[in-house]
Amino acid sequence: MSDNILSSKIGNAAKWSTFSEVTARLIAPITNIILARLLAPEAFGVIAIVVMVVSFAEMITEAGFQDYLVQHEFKDKEEKEKTASVAFWTSLFIALLLYGFIFLFRHWLASAVGNPGLGNVIAVAALQIPISSFTSVQVGLNRRDYNFKLLFLIRMTGSIIPLTITLPLAFQGYGYWAIIIGTLSFSVASAVLFMLISEWKPSFFYSFSFLKRMFTFSAWASLEALAIWLTVWVDIFIIGHFLSEYYVGLYRTSLYMVEALMGIITASMNPVLFSALSRFQNNHGNFTAMFLGAQRLLAFLVFPMGIGIYLYQDFATSFILGSQWTEASTILGLWGLSTSLRLVMINLFSAAYRAKGKPKISLFLLTLDLLIIIPTCIISLQFGFWELIYARAIIKIDLIIPGLIVMNTIIGISASSILKNVVKPLLCTFIMAVFALLLKSISDLPLWSGISIMLCITVYFVSLFYLDKGIVVSAKKIIVSKET
């Protein structure tokens, strides 16, 4: 495949991935904005504990096969489809095995995460694990082939179902069960749609030699996924163990809303970037250009979001979550600021490691991250919940320097080029932040805050247009791409 054709496919994939994630992730926050006004923080605390257990099991089930299917260079279509079938049956077997374990030990698991009354809730929610195993391989194959239009159509159809189920159940007073039933409905709908629409169907083929071939890469990818899971959930586990469901709900819901907003950008970019970098893994010039272009675009999009959430944290909390969540404003603001830096200067590097077939690097850095996170959370919590919040926000950017060293010495992209790459996004964001502080000094009324945010967005895009018109042109080309 020529570079021009591949570039066209990447641009088209980016467009459909963006449409998918923007639409789906707008539905999720809107749903949660309504649910936050119907359910108490304690209910979201229960959901956080349940999601922690289920997401761990799903991560084990996927076993790194999806990344392998995207990253690996197969000799022909037959080898790819046989590999996919082996991955599918292995994932399904692991999923059924894990669900059996969760069901049998559900009460013990509930006690282990600090909520002994949630055993049956965890067992019901965990039905998602075997159901989701039907979609993992399908997603990997479609991402490999840049078929993000199909992923968009399935995602959109499936996203409507929880919206029509979760909210009515919440209005009827079903509490956290409304969210669990809605999530299960989405998983079932997605699995059925993939089996009906997707070109690939699993065959009755299995080979341990194929499994062994996958395992070398997938084992490290699975360990990396485990480390990622731990960095996401270890603080939730610690808070749940020492404090009540109220604080778990307050903390996790604040984090989720920030990640849902920024995920509109990152979730649409990351799958396409990983697929593209994987195809360029043996062409260092194209690989570097693709990575730096993606980093610059991501920086321009998430830096202003991060500083905006921080500066308007009270308004954002009131608007998104409602009056019963006022304590969440500090968490929301700090997490917005630190998350924007981590996404651009830490998380994006992981796509480069995996695309080069080096998940061990990411695993090493995430292990270092955990060695900092765990003692920091435990020690800071001894001084109080809010001390933990500040400490956790600070150490969220702990891997910037180690990451730059690795990118420079192992991946071959210099630290200076990465740092220079974000100067203009930072400058545009700084101009917007100064303007925001001037506007905030006039009034802190909600109406004025809303007007101020619109004015800040205008100032930011004007700055962007004058300082880096090229990024605007690149984004426009992706959006107006006529390829379907």
Is residue 161, in this structure, part of any structural domain at all? yes
What's the token pair of residue 9? 């496919």
Over the chain (484 residues), the average pLDDT of each successive run of 10 is: 49 50 56 60 65 71 70 76 85 87 85 73 84 78 69 68 74 77 82 79 83 74 77 83 79 80 72 76 86 89 92 84 78 91 90 81 88 92 91 92 92 92 92 93 86 92 80 53 44
- Cα–Cα distance, 368 to 264 (Å, whole number): 28
Is residue 484, in this structure, part of any structural domain at all? no
Q: Please give the pLDDT value at position 460.
A: 92
Q: Please give the pLDDT value at position 481.
A: 46
Number of domains, the chain: 1
pTM attached to this predicted model = 0.68
- Cα–Cα distance, 59 to 106 (Å, whole number): 18
DSSP per-residue codes, 75-136: SSHHHHHHHHHHHHHHHHHHHHHHHHHHHHTHHHHHHHTT-GGGHHHHHHHTTHHHHHTTTH
Q: Please give the pLDDT value at position 5.
A: 46
Is residue 364, in this structure, part of any structural domain at all? yes
Asked if 475 and 269 count as a contact pair (C-beta separation under 8 A), the reply is no
- Cα–Cα distance, 31 to 182 (Å, whole number): 11
Is residue 211, in this structure, part of any structural domain at all? yes
Q: What is the CA radius of gyration of the chain?
A: 22
**Domain with 453 in it:** 3-479
What's the token pair of residue 71? 């990253």
The amino acid present at 409, given as its one-letter code, is T
Is residue 272, in this structure, part of any structural domain at all? yes
Phi-psi region of 175 (alpha: psi -120 to 50; beta: other; left: phi over 0): left
Is residue 456, in this structure, part of any structural domain at all? yes
Is residue 380, in this structure, part of any structural domain at all? yes
Is residue 392, in this structure, part of any structural domain at all? yes
